[in-house]
Each structure stands twice: as C-alpha cells, then as structure tokens.
C-alpha cells in the first residue's frame, strides 16, 4: 500500500526548524505512529534535520570564551554505557520478536530517563522555605530535577503519599500543552499528574504514591494528559 507522506513531510520540515507548535505536534506524533515502521518517514526526518543543521553554518563563527572547553572537561562523564554497548543494546532490541519501532523508541527514551544527575541546593532551600510555611507536615526528602532551563524540584516523605512540586523559570510548554509528571518504577512510567506553570512558576501538591519509584521525569504533553509519555523528558530526577 502506498501511503501519502505529504502531511508528515510538511510537519517534519517545520519540526526540524523548531517551529512546530499547537495541535500539529500531536498530529505529527499520531501520523508517525500510524505509519510505523516507515522508512520514508525516517528518510524525510533525517533529510530535514540535515538541512536545518546546515543553516547554522551560514552564520559567521563567534569564538567561545577561553576556558570553556576546560570547564566542560572538568565535569565528570556520566554516561549510561559506552557507545559500543549502546549499539549492542540496539541490536538486541532489533532482534526482539513482536516489538515495533514505537516500542523500541519508547525503551530508548526510558533508558535516557535514568540520566538524572547533580544537586541544586538553592532549589531545595527555597522549596524548604515554601513548604515550611504550608504546615507542620514537612517532607524530609528534597530532590532537584535536572533539565535544560528553569528550576524544578520535589519534596516527599518516604512511605507517605503525596509529593510537593515546586518550579521557577520554567519554559511555557506551549499552546495546548502541559507538563506531565511520571514516576519510573521498574522500567515502567507511571502517570503522576499534569502540571501547568503560571508565569513560569509552579507550587503544588500531587496526591500520588511514589511507591518503589526509582526516578522521576517530566515530559511536555497535550492537555489531554496521555496515559503514557509521547515525548522525550525535559526534566529528570533520581530518587535514590
């Protein structure tokens, strides 16, 4: 059967330029899922990404400050596995019977979810101040999330239900979009709650049970709050 790729082609072109928004993000996800496996979709995605990547080279290079490379190298490497191991994992995944492309990509996402690192003491302090003012039941675990921008943290008491979530400087998830909190238990994402920051800030109580969750993640999702994540995590946190 010959499928029409015109819509996917158009949306992938815009996505490659980071211009996609609104319902079209959901539409693209849905169309891609409906086409899988789809070599033509993959080809179009790579093709548009390559063109977009080339555009940067139209600009006059701007030297970076001296010492930046040394500062980066001073940071420890925190890889999950060497690239060779990643290749081996992918080969195993390809051999698994009955698993489609969507499933493999979801597994790859889940592996990356466990990459949370670092400490944000300032966030924890601010969170503590906020929470102390809310009453006597002050959580005793403060966990900062790692993400591209803004600050996000959570607090909880092991064995007790409920999670306090606090954020500041969070990017607008976009029209028709929300943040969705996920608990990661034994390789499976468990839906936490949908969160909508106001002016980039967030301070809320999520009535959920962390149970045996070993990590947390936040994705950008449609307002429908899907039961499973459909995008890459934008914030992650380890609970151990």
CA angle 171, 176, 180 (to 5 degrees): 60
Smallest gap, in angstroms, from Cβ of residue 96 to another protein? 17
Structure tokens at 219: 């994705």
Phi, psi of 180 (to 5 degrees): -125, 130
Structure tokens at 12: 């992938």
Single out the residue of 96, 160, 172, 223 in contact with another protein (rule: CB under 8 A). 172
75 belongs to the binding site for another protein (CB under 8 A):
yes
19 belongs to the binding site for another protein (CB under 8 A):
yes
112 belongs to the binding site for another protein (CB under 8 A):
yes
64 belongs to the binding site for another protein (CB under 8 A):
yes
Only one of the segments 28-36, 59-67, 136-144, 188-196 lies at the binding site for another protein (rule: CB under 8 A); that segment is: 59-67
Q: How many helices (H) and strands (E) does the chain have?
A: 7, 9
Smallest gap, in angstroms, from Cβ of residue 70 to another protein? 9
CA-to-CA dists, residue 29 to 11, 49, 71, 144, 225, angstroms: 10, 16, 38, 30, 15
Only one of the segments 26-34, 172-180, 187-195, 223-231 lies at the binding site for another protein (rule: CB under 8 A); that segment is: 172-180
- In the 8-state DSSP scheme, what is residue 138? -
Smallest gap, in angstroms, from Cβ of residue 205 to another protein? 25
* DSSP secondary structure of 148-163: SSSEEEEEE-TTSS-E
83 belongs to the binding site for another protein (CB under 8 A):
yes
Instruction: Determine the longest span between alpha carbons in the chain, in angstroms.
Output: 64
4 belongs to the binding site for another protein (CB under 8 A):
no
- Candidates 157, 121, 120; CA nearest to 136 is 157
Smallest gap, in angstroms, from Cβ of residue 213 to another protein? 22
198 belongs to the binding site for another protein (CB under 8 A):
no
CA-derived radius of gyration, the chain: 20
29 belongs to the binding site for another protein (CB under 8 A):
no
173 near 179, Cβ under 8 Å? yes
Q: Which residues does residue 112 pair with via DSSP β-bridges, in sequence order?
A: none
Structure tokens at 157: 């008491």
Single out the residue of 26, 36, 47, 128 in contact with another protein (rule: CB under 8 A). 47
> Closer CB to another protein, residue 208 or residue 231?
231
Single out the residue of 2, 4, 65, 66 in contact with another protein (rule: CB under 8 A). 65
Which residues contact another protein (rule: CB under 8 A)? Answer: 9-11, 13-14, 16-22, 24, 42, 45-65, 68-69, 71-73, 75-86, 112, 115, 117, 148-150, 169, 171-172, 174-175, 199-200
């Amino acid at each position: 059967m010959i499928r029409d790729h015109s819509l996917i082609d158009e949306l992938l072109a815009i996505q490659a330029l980071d211009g996609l928004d609104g319902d079209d993000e959901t539409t693209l996800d849905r169309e891609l899922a409906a086409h899988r496996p789809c070599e033509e979709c993959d080809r179009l995605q790579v093709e548009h990404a390559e063109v977009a990547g080339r555009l940067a080279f139209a600009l006059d290079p701007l030297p970076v400050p001296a010492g930046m490379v040394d500062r980066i190298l001073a940071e420890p490497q925190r890889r999950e596995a060497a690239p060779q191991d990643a290749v081996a994992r992918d080969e195993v995944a390809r051999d698994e019977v009955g698993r489609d492309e969507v499933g493999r990509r979801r597994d790859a996402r889940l592996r990356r979810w466990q990459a949370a690192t670092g400490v944000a003491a300032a966030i924890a302090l601010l969170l503590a101040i906020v929470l102390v003012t809310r009453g006597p039941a002050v959580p005793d675990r403060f966990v900062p999330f790692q993400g591209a921008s803004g600050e996000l943290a959570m607090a909880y008491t092991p064995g007790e239900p409920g999670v306090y979530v606090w954020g500041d400087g969070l990017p607008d998830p976009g029209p028709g979009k929300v943040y969705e909190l996920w608990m990661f238990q034994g390789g499976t994402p468990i839906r936490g709650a949908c969160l909508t920051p106001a002016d980039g800030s967030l301070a809320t109580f999520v009535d959920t049970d962390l149970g045996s969750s070993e990590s947390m993640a936040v994705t950008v999702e449609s307002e429908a709050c899907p039961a499973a994540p459909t995008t890459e995590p934008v914030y992650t946190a380890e609970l151990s």
